[in-house]
Chains A and B, each alone.
Chain A
Amino acid sequence: MSATAEATVLITHDVGLHARPSVKFTKLAKSFPADVEIALAANGPWFDAKSIVKVMAAKAPKGTVLHIRANGDGADDAIRALIDLVQRDFDEDAGHVRSA
């Protein structure tokens, strides 16, 4: 069963989609069979959400409205899980935000 899903989420984490959040984000994306991509605007450019190199290259700071789209098996689940991760500030507690 093939499906396409798309959604947006506001990045509230202090330094954005940075190194450690990117590791978590791409790991989670890779757990779904669907192709997943992210963008900083609705019209792209789109980056492979399973590649940490691409996700980092998107350079999404705090306050960015992140566009996520998925295509294929479990597309909806993938979008839901990833949005949830961003909304949970990547499970990093506030006191733990570091500059590096």
Chain B
Amino acid sequence: MRIEGVPASAGYAEGPLFDLGRPAGIYATKASVAEEKTSLEAAIGKAVNRLAAMVETADSDAAGILEFHIAMLEDDALSGPAFASIASGEPADAAWRQALDAEIAGYEASDQDYFRARATDLHDIRDQVLRALTEGGGGPAPAGAILYGEDIAPTRFLETDWSHGGGIALKAGSTASHVAMLARSRGVPMVVGLREPLTAVAGIALLDAEHGNIVLAPSPAEIGSFRQSSSAFTARQGDARTFLARPAATKRGTAVRVQVNIADPRDVDAIDIATCDGVGLMRTEFLFGKTLPDEETQYRAYRKVLEWAGEKPVTIRTVDAGGDKPVPGFTVEEGNPFLGLRGIRLSLARLDIFRVQIRALLRAAPHGNLKVMFPMIATPEEYESAAALFAEERVALAARGIAQEMPPLGIMVEVPSVAIAPEAFTGVAFLSIGSNDLTQYVMAAARDNAAVAHLNSVRHPAVLRLIGSVAAFGRETGIPVSLCGDAGGDPAAIPSLIEVGLRDLSVAPAQLAMAKAAIADVPI
């Protein structure tokens, strides 16, 4: 059975399915009595199969015990009362527990030691089935599993070990969600917006996150063709890797700068600085997790990345909380968060928090080639207010004798007002186009809503025309223009971006090689 979806992070994964929705050790009740019965039958069967497998390698004493357990589990007299309870509306786990506890009580009441001791076996038998009923949910996913569910939390993504493969298949989700972003930067295959809900099936599933589909209970023919596509994809990636070490250039030799986007300072540990032209976007939201980060924590995080990059520029974006990125104790609840208090609007409304970040950035600046940009700028006044705060904090640090430096200050171009009338911003040091947000605002299609995902295309002529006019504004005024949205790393979008005049892209580290390979194909 094949379910179509939208590719969010290209790649192929073959593995067992793992339900994201089911918490550990808790039985997921079923919709009907029939399903509850099936669920208990399956759990008993699973327990018997496991015991039978153990008998194979057991010595005769152990085999005797295991065979006793199997015989008990296969006896309808043991499960009969449980199935009767299920018929009267009990869920399978409670029904089984009650039935076995009654049986156990009979053994425990015996005046013979031998029979009393059998209560332990009954406990074991009870728990084997309960385990089979509840397993599969919560806890870490098995290595190489395909995680499926409605959506996945970023923390869940981060705590999963992806080193043995695996992938993500979501009913909801979005190609522009934070997890999609993380998946692309780590090279984890991910499909979102599946047209039908996934239900767990035994055996492996095939996730094709290059084209956007998942195959459940695949036939040998399906497995064969899947593996062919998968190796072809890996080979293409290998070819792309040969581009990694070289500076990017188009077919005719036009140089294109390619920088990387990072979220966590630790991301740089896996990147060779020689393969990129710097950091085009360092997000700082990930520092703003459960608690607000203090100045020292932020300073250390920024300094680490600056020192790693050496001479190459590192563009750090001041915190872009709000929208789909709530931060407890900072962001506010809003009916329409993408159009509300997010990015620079929130920072300017919470100066206590913003000033801490500004001081950390000013102090980190002497340690490398720092540039700072503000997200969600809509008017020149916002930029001027933020720049004034930098100047104020710099003076205060200098007065205390603390080392600091004023970095070049630029803005994100993501609110259409800036892209339509960039001439109001001749005072900024640079412009960085945030194509994800610019696209969602131009197309009026929320980027976390799978139902309007088809509208969210950077290649729509309206979006491309705006990007082209910002690039032209940059050439006329000498203000550098770059692009740091997902489009920059998308081989399908790269030709259009270069065609409209961009020569500076910032991409997820995992896309670096593919992006350079795609640039080399552009006939300009």
Chain A residues 43-100 with CB under 8 Å of chain B are 48, 51-54, 56-57, 59, 61, 98-100
Residue of A27, A52, A99 ringed by the most chain B CB atoms within 10 A: A52
B112 contacts across to A, CB distance below 8 A: 16, 59, 61
Q: When the two chains form their complex, are residues B106 and A57 in contact, meaning their CB atoms are under 8 A apart?
A: yes
With A19-B64, A51-B77 given, is the CB distance from A56 to B118 under 8 Å? yes
Interface centre among A16, A98, A100 (most CB of B within 10 A): A100
Please report the C-alpha to C-alpha distance between residue A54 and residue B71 in the assembled complex, in whole angstroms.
Answer: 12
B110: nearest chain-A partner, CB-CB: A59
Give the chain B neighbours of A53 by CB distance below 8 A.
Answer: 72, 75, 77-78, 103
The CA of A52 and the CA of B70, in the complex, are separated in Å by 10
Q: How far is the CA of A18 from the CA of B65 in the complex (A)?
A: 11
Which of B61, B78, B103, B121 is in CB contact (< 8 Å) with A98?
B61
Are B114's CB and A15's CB within 8 A?
A: yes
A-B contact count (CB 8 A): 52
The answer on a CB contact under 8 Å between B114 and A16 is yes
The docked-state distance in angstroms from the alpha carbon of A12 to that of B340 is: 85
Cβ of A23: which chain B residues have Cβ within 8 Å of it?
A: 64, 67-68, 71
| In contact, B78 and A61 (Cβ under 8 angstroms) | no
Known: A48-B77, A51-B77, A53-B77. A20 touches B64 (CB 8 A): yes
Residue of A53, A59, A61 with most partner-chain B CB within 10 A = A53
Could you tell me if A99 and B118 are in contact, using CB atoms closer than 8 angstroms? no
Complex Cα spacing A26 to B112, Å: 21
Q: How far is the CA of A5 from the CA of B200 in the complex (A)?
A: 52
Count of interface residues, chain A, beta-carbon cutoff 8 Å: 21
How long is the Cα–Cα vector from A62 to B39 in the complex, in angstroms? 40
Find A19's partner among B76, B78, B110, B118 (CB 8 Å cutoff): B118
- Nearest CB in chain A: distance from B433 CB, A: 72
In the complex, chain A residues 1-40 whose Cβ is within 8 Å of any chain B Cβ: 15-16, 18-20, 22-23, 26-27
In the bound assembly, the distance between CA atoms of A56 and B119 in angstroms comes to 11
Q: Kindly identify, within residues 70 to 84 of chain B, every residue whose CB is under 8 Å from any CB belonging to chain A.
A: 71-72, 75-78
Taking a contact as CB atoms under 8 Å apart, the answer to whether A20 and B77 are in contact is: no
| B54 contacts the other chain (CB 8 A) | no
CB of A99 within 8 A of CB of B117, answer yes
Encoded as 1 (CB less than 8 Å from any A CB) or 0, chain B from 32 to 76 comes to 000000000000000000000000000001001101100110011
Q: How far is the CB of A27 from chain B (nearest CB, A)?
A: 8
Chain A residues lying within 8 Å of B68, measured Cβ to Cβ, are 19-20, 22-23, 52
Q: Give B114's nearest chain A residue, CB to CB.
A: A15
Nearest A residue to B79, CB-CB:
A53
Residues on B with beta carbons closer than 8 Å to the beta carbon of A98: 61
Q: When each residue 99-127 of chain B gets 1 if its CB lies under 8 Å from chain A and 0 otherwise, what string results?
A: 00001001000101011011001000000
By a CB distance below 8 angstroms, the chain B residues around A26 are: 71, 75
Chain A residues with CB below 8 A from B77, complex form: 48, 51-54
- In-complex Cβ contact of A100 among B75, B103, B110, B117 (8 A): B117
CB proximity of A51 to chain B, nearest CB, Å: 4
Give chain B nearest CB distance to A53 CB in angstroms.
4
Provide the bound-state CA to CA distance between A57 and B65, in Å.
17
CA distance A99 to B65 in the complex (A): 11
Pick 26 A–B contacts, CB within 8 A, sort by A.
A16-B112, A19-B68, A19-B118, A20-B64, A20-B67, A22-B71, A23-B64, A23-B71, A27-B71, A48-B77, A52-B75, A53-B72, A53-B75, A53-B103, A54-B77, A56-B72, A56-B115, A56-B118, A59-B110, A59-B112, A59-B115, A61-B112, A61-B115, A99-B114, A99-B117, A100-B117
Residues in B lying within 8 Å of A, measured CB to CB: 61, 64-65, 67-68, 71-72, 75-78, 103, 106, 110, 112, 114-115, 117-118, 121
Closest 4 CB pairs of A and B: A53-B77, A19-B68, A51-B77, A20-B64
Query: Given A16-B114, A23-B71, A61-B114, 6 other A-B contacts at CB below 8 A?
Result: A18-B118, A26-B71, A51-B76, A53-B103, A59-B112, A100-B117
